[in-house]
Amino acid sequence: MLRGWTTALPRPWLVLIADAPVRPVRAARYRYKALEGRLAGTAIVPYLPVLRAVEGAEEALQHTDVQAAAVKLRRQLEGK
């Protein structure tokens, strides 16, 4: 996908969302590092167990840990 990325578009971000309370597997860490230089940026969202129990974004955002992660991610994406 990145090879065919046109220069007319801004470079994409890679957001790694943890799906377990452990560090990513070796292959994921390798890909993350290998792609870093080709992207506008990278961000990591920590494991949030509540995301497995909710039906949608509105319900998830009722939880303070999800709100905090969303604010942090938005700041990273906006460069603040």
Three-state helix/strand/coil letters over 12-56: CEEEEECCCCCCCCHHHHHHHHHHHHHCCEEEEECCCHHHHCCCC
- Indicate whether 74 belongs to any domain: yes
- Indicate whether 71 belongs to any domain: yes
- Indicate whether 58 belongs to any domain: yes
- Indicate whether 7 belongs to any domain: no
Query: What are residue 12's phi and psi, to 5 degrees?
Result: -80, 165
Tens of pLDDT, residue by residue over 45-64, are 999 999 999 999 999 999 99
Question: At a CB cut-off of 8 Å and minimum separation 6, what does 68 contact?
Answer: none
Q: What is the CA radius of gyration of the chain?
A: 15
Domain that holds residue 33: 13-78
pLDDT at residue 80 greater than cutoff 70 = no
- Indicate whether 30 belongs to any domain: yes
Tens of pLDDT, residue by residue over 8-53, are 788 889 999 999 999 999 999 999 898 888 888 999 999 999 999 9
